[in-house]
Amino acid sequence: MDLSDEQKAQVKDWVAAGESLSGVQERLDEEFGIKITYMETRFLVEDLEVDLQDQESGTHKDEAAEATSDAVGAASEGAVDLEDAGFDAAAGAGQVRVEVDDLTRPGSVVSGSVTFSDGERSLWMLDQMGRLQLQPSSESYQPSEEDVQAFQAALENELRRKGF
């Protein structure tokens, strides 16, 4: 994705003003007509080398990510305990568990399944463009934001452990 220098400056301003990743994603769509995934937004912010701020505590996301990373590193075999990762237990009372398929599904670089803290299971895949796709077992299922964040952390940990 190619952004002009003005657009990059605008994204940096949004982040400096405390905008979240999902907020940046929405504003890119609304103001520039650029539709990108949450993961692509995350990569964009990393490429621009700006620090997201945690709006609740006022800390930088790097510090929050470090705490999450510590919790992920301590977790075993792709499981992340939400409370250990710093998430509110109200979303579910369990763990997010990620599994990587031995045989990758067609059209993907890597694939697997995830069991969210409420016991719902979804298939996931990462395609050649780096897009992450989830296929929940029930059509109407929407995981909580905490589960999605824990899933991303557990997936990163599991892929690193498997050598990706």
Rounded Cα–Cα distance for residues 82 and 136 (Å): 20
Q: Residue 108, Cα to own-chain centre: how many angstroms? A: 18
Long-range contacts of 1-6 (CB under 8 A, 24+ apart): 1/34, 1/36, 1/40, 1/44, 3/32, 3/34, 3/44
Q: What is the residue extent of each domain of the chain?
A: 5-47, 61-161
Summarize pLDDT for 90-120 with one digit per residue, the tens. Answer: 444 458 899 999 888 888 999 999 999 888 9
First-last CA distance in the chain:
23
Over residues 47-68, mean pLDDT: 58
Is the pLDDT confidence value at 65 over 50?
A: no
Higher local confidence (pLDDT), 137 or 75: 137
